[in-house]
């Protein structure tokens, strides 16, 4: 049998691919890998298509036992990688014999690692995706000890030259380019000025649904009342009653009633948000025309 046995599941390890876009009208978020660049690189190192499922770990890694000879790769947050207790490569293909144990250690910086296997993880797709969606409950369950992860058929040999050095490291400060709107007019001009000139911190309550902020100036409303629920997008920055911005990530709800002060465009900034640990400084800046 070709697969991997979960020996140590880690704090929160899920299967992720590029998600299931296009189902917001059914109440289903996009979901998928938070750090899409790390996910895509892990697959590229092994010759997998970009949408092959990988494991996304959170902070303390995962330990897996190969049930057949396999090739794996670990990217994302830098961490110690070991095979049967011996050091192995991070950011490069690693061959496992049958019975070998791969230990992906605690993130040394950043927050989330991606573990790919040549052939991809072969969970049953739901709405065209193998992603675990923590908000809606769709997709495979969170990893538990003793689970067996099936592996798909490998494709052609990977092309040489995938380069991890081209990916930025986890952020020491998270800088989020913000396009104001659609509800920026719900906040005072002074609040918007402070939002774009102040420093916040990543709050410990952050998760795959949203990155919560703390320690910065709350935004003051320019009008009373509440909005009816309206559509939410990936990267939306919603402002709840405490006035502290929340950046919506992959498992975000598709509707919400709190005003959205702006949107962070998809791309490197959202990948960096996936790696921002609690306590990391956060700054919002005006998005450039090309952001």
Q: Which pLDDT score, from 0 to 100, does residue 289 have?
A: 42
Residue 246 sits in the same domain as residue 180: yes
- Counting DSSP H helices and E strands in the chain, the numbers are 3, 20
Residue 207 sits in the same domain as residue 86: no
Per-residue pLDDT band for 1 (boundaries 50, 70, 90) equals low
Residue 113 sits in the same domain as residue 200: no
The mean pLDDT value for 56-83 works out to 98
Q: What percent of the chain has pLDDT over 70?
A: 96
Q: Which pLDDT score, from 0 to 100, does residue 168 have?
A: 81
**DSSP characters for 196-249?**
TT--EEE-TT--SSEEEEESSPPPPBSS-S-PPPEE--TTEEE--TT---EEE-
Q: Is residue 291 part of a domain?
A: no
Q: Which pLDDT score, from 0 to 100, does residue 169 have?
A: 85
Q: Is residue 42 part of a domain?
A: yes
Residue 155 sits in the same domain as residue 205: no
Q: Out of 166, 200, 218, pick the residue that ends a domain.
A: 166
The token duo for 75 is 């990217």
Residues 6+ apart with CB under 8 A from 215: 199, 200, 201
Q: What CA–CA distance (Å, rounded) separates 282 from 171?
A: 10
The mean pLDDT value for 98-121 works out to 98
The mean pLDDT value for 90-103 works out to 97
Residue 226 sits in the same domain as residue 279: yes
- pLDDT tens, residue by residue, 237-291: 999 999 999 999 999 999 999 999 999 999 999 999 999 999 999 999 999 744 4
Q: Out of 103, 134, 166, pick the residue that ends a domain.
A: 166
Q: Which pLDDT score, from 0 to 100, does residue 269 have?
A: 97
Q: Which domain holds residue 73?
A: 3-166
Residue 212 has pLDDT above 90, yes or no: yes
Per-residue pLDDT band for 226 (boundaries 50, 70, 90) equals confident
Residue 27 has pLDDT above 60, yes or no: yes
The mean pLDDT value for 39-56 works out to 96
Q: Which pLDDT score, from 0 to 100, does residue 158 have?
A: 67
Per-residue pLDDT band for 159 (boundaries 50, 70, 90) equals low
Considering its fold, how many domains does the chain have in total? 2
Residue 100 has pLDDT above 90, yes or no: yes
Residue 123 sits in the same domain as residue 59: yes
Per-residue pLDDT band for 155 (boundaries 50, 70, 90) equals confident
The mean pLDDT value for 26-33 works out to 94
Q: Which pLDDT score, from 0 to 100, does residue 164 have?
A: 65
Q: Is residue 63 part of a domain?
A: yes
Q: Name the pairing type of β-strands 79-83 and 62-66.
A: unpaired
Q: What CA–CA distance (Å, rounded) separates 190 from 67?
A: 60
Q: Out of 149, 166, 183, pick the residue that ends a domain.
A: 166
Residue 155 sits in the same domain as residue 195: no
The mean predicted confidence, pLDDT, of the chain is: 94
The mean pLDDT value for 15-28 works out to 95
CATH number at residue 204: 2.40.100.10
Residue 148 has pLDDT above 50, yes or no: yes
Residue 161 has pLDDT above 70, yes or no: no
Residue 115 sits in the same domain as residue 197: no
Q: Is residue 88 part of a domain?
A: yes
Residue 161 sits in the same domain as residue 183: no
Q: What percent of the chain has pLDDT over 90?
A: 91
Q: What CA–CA distance (Å, rounded) separates 210 from 221?
A: 21
């Amino acid at each position: 049998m070709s697969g991997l046995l979960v020996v140590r599941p880690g704090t929160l390890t899920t299967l992720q691919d590029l998600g299931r876009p296009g189902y917001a009208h059914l109440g289903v978020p996009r979901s998928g890998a938070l750090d899409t660049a790390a996910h895509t690189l892990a697959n590229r190192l092994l010759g997998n298509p970009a949408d092959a499922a990988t494991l996304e770990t959170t902070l303390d890694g995962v330990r897996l036992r190969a049930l057949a000879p396999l090739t794996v790769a670990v990217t994302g947050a830098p961490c110690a990688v070991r095979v049967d207790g011996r050091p192995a490569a991070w950011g490069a293909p690693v061959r496992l014999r049958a019975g070998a144990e791969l230990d992906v250690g605690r993130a040394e910086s950043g927050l989330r690692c991606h573990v790919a296997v040549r052939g991809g993880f072969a969970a049953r797709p739901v709405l065209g995706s193998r992603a675990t969606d923590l908000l809606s409950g769709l997709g495979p369950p969170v990893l538990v000890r003793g689970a067996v992860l099936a592996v798909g058929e490998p494709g052609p040999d990977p092309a040489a030259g995938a380069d991890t050095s081209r990916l930025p490291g986890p952020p020491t400060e998270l800088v989020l380019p913000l396009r104001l709107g659609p509800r920026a007019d719900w906040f005072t001009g002074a609040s918007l000025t402070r939002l774009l000139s102040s420093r916040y911190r990543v709050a410990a309550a952050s998760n795959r649904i949203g990155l919560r902020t703390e320690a910065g100036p709350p935004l003051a409303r320019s009008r009373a009342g509440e909005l009816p629920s309206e559509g939410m997008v990936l990267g939306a920055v919603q402002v709840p009653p405490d006035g502290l911005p929340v950046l919506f990530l992959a498992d975000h709800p598709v509707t919400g009633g709190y005003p959205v002060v702006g949107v962070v465009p998809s791309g490197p900034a959202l990948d960096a948000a996936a790696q921002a640990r609690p306590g990391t400084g956060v700054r919002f800046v005006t998005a450039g025309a090309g952001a």
